[in-house]
């Protein structure tokens, strides 16, 4: 927040009878830094360590009340209206073993990756499909592709991006659900050529691929008001790419020591 804006906000908020006047200014400043396209994205769990870093300590219930008073709560998302995409069509190829078993404790970049496809409805009532590959340890999106159809081209384009972004001498696990794409030879042969080790969720168990579920959920929470503005796939693709860039370079997480995915990856590899 710029200094003039900071002091204007401070002057507006401060009340002689409000013992939380000073901390409200700090909460507001932190929340503003976490905005994406005008929407607040920082929940109380992310704000607490940043407040502590600034010298303020308070109970979660107090912080949540103050955030409510300031109007800086992150948006809520109704999963029931999500029209959840499922690419499962039964066993149409090879089903790989589940090598993770809901163990999501990777600490080193490029050791465990997750991939999935999700969908959103655009302003012209058509569907856009997003294919993403995510690093479990850093939460960094290593590859992302958008299409009007959930087809082979979408999946292969995502893998091509991964090939460009995956450093040499890394052979990570890549975990997916049992979607038909991930069972077929073209996918399995491509990941084998990249030195990846295939892992799959159990049938119908979305929690087995929870990091991907979390990413798409957050995207829809933080972007839902904007998505309906886009009338074609080209406009939405530009928007989604900007979100991925923001997610990778600006979106902090408690799980990555309050660093962005890129900063955390750099931090870990330099250690």
Residue 35 domain boundaries: 3-70
Residues 116 and 211 in one domain: yes
SS (H, E, C) the chain: CCHHHHHHHHHHHCCCCCCCHHHHHHHHHHHHHCCECCECCCCHHHHHHHHHHCCCCCCHHHHHHHHHHHCCCCCCCCHHHCCCCCCCCCCCCCCCCCCCCCCCCCCCCCCEEEEEEEEEECCCCCEEEEEEEEECCCCCEEEEEEECCCCHHHHHHHHHHHHHHCCCCCCCEEEECCCHHHHCHHHHHHHHHCCCEEEECCCCCHHHHHHHHHHHHHHHHHHHHHHCCCCCHHHHHHHHHHHHHHHHHCCCEHHHCCECHHHHHHHHHHC
Residues 59 and 117 in one domain: no
Structural domain includes residue 81? no
Q: Give me the long-range contacts of 215-221 (CB less than 8 A, separation at least 24).
A: 215/132, 215/134, 215/139, 215/141, 215/247, 216/116, 216/118, 216/130, 216/132, 217/77, 217/79, 218/41, 218/247, 219/130, 219/243, 219/247, 220/77, 220/82, 220/120, 221/41, 221/74, 221/75, 221/76, 221/77
The number of folded domains in the chain is 2
Residues 152 and 224 in one domain: yes
What integer pLDDT is reported at residue 84 of this predicted model?
60
Residues 55 and 124 in one domain: no
Residues 189 and 244 in one domain: yes
Bridge-based pairing state of the strands 112-121 and 127-135:
antiparallel
Structural domain includes residue 172? yes
Domain CATH code at residue 152: 3.30.420.10
Residues 135 and 253 in one domain: yes
Residues 134 and 249 in one domain: yes
What integer pLDDT is reported at residue 34 of this predicted model?
82
Structural domain includes residue 89? no
Identify the domain boundary among 15, 49, 70: 70
Identify the domain boundary among 37, 55, 70: 70
Structural domain includes residue 244? yes
Query: With a cut of 70, which residues of the chain have pLDDT below it?
Result: 1-17, 76-93
Structural domain includes residue 77? no
What integer pLDDT is reported at residue 134 of this predicted model?
99
What integer pLDDT is reported at residue 101 of this predicted model?
95
What integer pLDDT is reported at residue 229 of this predicted model?
92
Question: pLDDT tens-digit profile of 149-196?
Answer: 999 999 999 999 999 999 999 999 999 999 889 999 999 999 999 999
What integer pLDDT is reported at residue 6 of this predicted model?
63
Structural domain includes residue 99? no
């Amino acid at each position: 927040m710029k200094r003039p804006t900071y002091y204007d906000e401070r002057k507006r908020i401060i009340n002689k009878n409000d013992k939380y006047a000073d901390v409200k200014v700090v909460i507001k400043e932190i929340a503003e830094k976490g905005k994406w396209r005008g929407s607040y994205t920082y929940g109380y769990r992310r704000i607490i360590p940043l407040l502590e870093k600034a010298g303020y300590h308070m109970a979660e219930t107090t912080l949540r009340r103050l955030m409510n008073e300031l109007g800086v709560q992150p948006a809520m998302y109704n999963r029931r209206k999500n029209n959840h995409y499922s690419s499962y069509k039964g066993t149409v190829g090879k089903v790989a073993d589940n090598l993770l078993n809901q163990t999501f404790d990777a600490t080193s970049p490029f050791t465990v990756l997750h991939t999935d496809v999700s969908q959103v409805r655009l302003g012209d009532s058509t569907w856009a499909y997003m294919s993403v590959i995510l690093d479990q340890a850093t939460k960094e999106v290593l590859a992302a592709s958008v299409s009007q159809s959930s087809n082979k081209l979408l999946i292969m384009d995502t893998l091509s991006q991964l090939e460009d972004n995956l450093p040499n001498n890394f052979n990570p696990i890549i975990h997916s659900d049992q979607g038909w794409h991930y069972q077929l030879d073209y996918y399995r042969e491509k990941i084998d050529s990249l030195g990846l080790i295939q892992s799959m969720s159990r049938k119908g168990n979305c929690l087995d691929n929870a990091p991907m579920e979390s990413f798409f959920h957050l995207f829809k929470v933080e972007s839902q008001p904007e998505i309906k503005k886009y009338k074609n796939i080209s406009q939405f693709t530009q928007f989604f790419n900007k979100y991925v860039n923001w997610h990778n370079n600006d979106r902090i997480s408690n799980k990555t020591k309050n660093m962005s995915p890129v900063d955390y990856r750099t931090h870990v590899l330099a250690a």
